[in-house]
Amino acid sequence: MDVTKFEELQLDDRIIRAITEMGFEEASPIQAQAIPVVLEGRDMIGQAQTGTGKTASFAIPIIQHLQANKETDKRQGIKALILTPTRELAMQISECIDDYSKYTRVRHGVIFGGVNQRPQVDMLRKGIDILVATPGRLLDLINQGHIHLTNIEYFVLDEADRMLDMGFYDDIM
């Protein structure tokens, strides 16, 4: 079986540095297959076992694109939306994005229900590039006028099958 090193995936040096500091050198199979597809700007559907690095397979190329476009794209607002079914998963994805983007200028935030929305609204006002969200809180903040999706370039439905099982079909549509 061929092993793909992260350096072979044509990633930004800042992202490679963050990945290396986390102790990773080799991409998992889902990462080796997905990262080049997303870097090319193509749509994809991926499925892999828990713990195989699915989050990195979409987060790393999105961070790379947003960082590369920081100088030329002066539009404000959310450019990537990652929709996930639970607060726990949203926080986990946000932590991964923290790790991968720590040497870039890409800013992100996470929103979910069950907590006071004021800190989340304040974070949105300051401006972010990537938003990780659960469907209910996302819809609440859209309806209140705090979130606009006009500048979205990247959309990830994480655990899409689970969201449908949990009854989020109408919210997702």
Q: What average pLDDT does the segment 155-165 reach?
A: 76
Q: Residue 170's pLDDT is what?
A: 67
Listing DSSP states for 21-49 in one string gives: HTT--EE-HHHHHHHHHHHTT--------
> Is residue 73 scored above 80 in pLDDT?
no
Write down the mean pLDDT value for the chain.
89
pLDDT-derived band at 70, boundaries 50, 70, 90: confident
pLDDT-derived band at 125, boundaries 50, 70, 90: very high
**Whole-Å CA distances, 83 to 7, 45, 114, 126:** 29, 14, 16, 21
pLDDT-derived band at 134, boundaries 50, 70, 90: very high
Q: What average pLDDT does the segment 143-159 reach?
A: 92
At 83-115, the pLDDT tens digits run 999 999 999 999 999 999 999 999 999 999 999
Q: Residue 88's pLDDT is what?
A: 94
pLDDT-derived band at 159, boundaries 50, 70, 90: confident
Q: Residue 69's pLDDT is what?
A: 86
Listing DSSP states for 45-113 in one string gives: -----TTS-HHHHHHHHHHHHHHHTTTT----S--EEEE-S-HHHHHHHHHHHHHHHTTSS--EEEE-S
d(CA 54, CA 89): 12
At 13-68, the pLDDT tens digits run 999 999 999 999 999 999 999 999 999 989 888 888 777 788 999 999 999 999 99
